[in-house]
Copies of this chain bind each other. A is one copy, B any other.
Amino acid sequence: MSEEHAKIAVIGLGNAGLPLAAVMADSGITVIGVDINEVRCKMINRGENPIPEEVGLDELLKAHGGKRLLATPRFEDARVCQTFVVIVPVFVDGGNNPDFSIMQKALHSLGCILKKGDLVVLETTFPPGTTEAMAQIRLCESSGLSASDFFLAYSPERIMTGYSISRLREFPKVIGGRDEESGMLAYQVYRKFISNLHLVSSARVAEMIKVMEGCYRDVNIALANELFKICEDLGIDFFEARENANHQFCHIHLPSTGVGGHCIPVYPWFLIKEMEKREHFSNCRLLRSSREINDEMIHYWAERILLECMKINKPLSSIKICIKGITFRAGVKEFYHSRNLGLARLLAEKGLDVYAADPLLTGDELASKGIRYIKPEQSDLVFDPFELKFIAAEKN
């Protein structure tokens, strides 16, 4: 490995890219971070942390922001690097097909500065086969290089907002190359800042590993939701049963209003859509059922809320219902596929007098999501979607 691969560009300084860039810099690597968000770049270069909920990131940015970690909105500034890590989002569109538009734009811009001998490592989670097909083709197109002119590998991010720094430092991380040489080179570069690193046989296997993890989570949350509903039906305390059922061989998850965020509700679709494209419908029945069960949980909770209204001595139409928390996860100000926001909207759609309160949001921010604010104590019924608990106001 030539020494120049030690200067690394990180394309994308979002919730996943920024902690990674900061950990690299903290390992003594010079990092050039590229992000289209100029305000964010300036913050980082002043040593300020744009993701306050990320434990440990404050210190790293204070130490390295504007010094070993330089943020820039211009790809051109990263031309001096020989290793490029791409970590920009891939979502699913309205039809649950992967939406590569941001990724393709980033790869196009990267191709324009890519040189012979450079190494590109992708970190974004996407369908198995994407690195060796879509990504490689796009890089060749815009760089004018042939595929054998550069090295290409894949290493899925395993971050979780709030815990990303410790995950990067302790959690196992896998990496796999488009070919053996790419895999070996990428492994050597990544070893400098990732201690628990595992080289796998191909980029495709590394891609599958990350998607499989997400599927495990989604299916097991669907199972927890299904068992929770059955327990409620049978008059059994799910939580007591779960606590005593779980042991070294049994890992029943927690029930919820569904699964939100950028990861778990998205990844199963990568496999479902690929199988459906191949007309192998029976190969993704469990994944599809799990997605449906989790997404439909808001209907279950809407009915539970309606039934809870029987305890209140008022006409149903005048009962003020407060959903206490509309972000997708407690403590994280994000709404992507938020089932709690979905629940509030579903109740409004049914014509109920629904409001929300969220410690992370102002009334104006709630209004921008189409939901009215209420102080919980001024409502008649409060539903906490994170605790799955009802709090009936005493005034009735």
Residues of A within 8 A of B (CB): 128-129, 171-172, 174, 198, 200-201, 204-206, 208-210, 212-213, 215-217, 219-220, 222-223, 226-227, 229-231, 233-237, 240-242, 244-245, 247, 249-252, 271, 274-275, 278, 280, 282-287, 289-290, 292-293, 296
Contacts and interface: CB of A to CB of B under 8 A. Distances in A.
Given A205-B237, A286-B290, A286-B293, A198 B275 contact: no
Contacts of A201: 237, 240
5 cross-chain pairs, A with B, having the tightest CB-CB distances, nearest first: A209-B245, A212-B245, A208-B241, A229-B283, A226-B286
Contacts of A237: 201, 205
Q: Which label, helix, strand, loop or mixed, suits the secondary structure of the A interface?
A: helix
B223 A278 contact: no
Contacts of A292: 285
Contacts of A227: 212, 215
A307 to B, nearest CB: 15
Contacts of A219: 219-220, 223, 286
13 contacts: A128-B236, A171-B247, A172-B247, A201-B237, A209-B245, A215-B223, A222-B286, A226-B287, A229-B280, A285-B292, A286-B290, A286-B293, A289-B289
Contact of A200 (B240, B284, B290): B240
Given A172-B247, A205-B241, A208-B236, 19 more contacts: A198-B244, A200-B240, A201-B237, A201-B240, A204-B236, A206-B244, A208-B241, A212-B227, A213-B250, A216-B251, A219-B220, A219-B223, A219-B286, A222-B286, A229-B283, A230-B275, A234-B274, A251-B251, A286-B289
A130 to B, nearest CB: 11
B216 A245 contact: yes
A267 B273 CA distance: 32
A233 B292 CA distance: 24
A278 B237 CA distance: 19
A169 B250 CA distance: 18
Contacts of A283: 226, 229-230, 233
B129 A200 contact: no
A45 to B, nearest CB: 35
A227 B213 CA distance: 11
A351 to B, nearest CB: 23
A229 B172 CA distance: 25
Nearest to A200: B244
Contacts of A128: 234, 236
Given A229-B283, A233-B280, A293-B285, A172 B212 contact: no
Nearest to A173: B244
Contact of A216 (B171, B172, B215, B223): B223
Contacts of A231: 208
Given A230-B271, A241-B208, A251-B216, A286 B286 contact: yes
Contacts of A129: 234
A78 to B, nearest CB: 30
A283 B293 CA distance: 9
A199 to B, nearest CB: 10
Given A216-B245, A223-B286, A205 B252 contact: no
Nearest to A242: B212
A213 B243 CA distance: 11
Contact of A244 (B174, B251, B296): B174
A285 B241 contact: no
Contacts of A172: 244, 247
Q: Which of A204, A217, A296 has the most CB of B within 10 A?
A: A204
Contact of A278 (B209, B233, B242, B251): B233
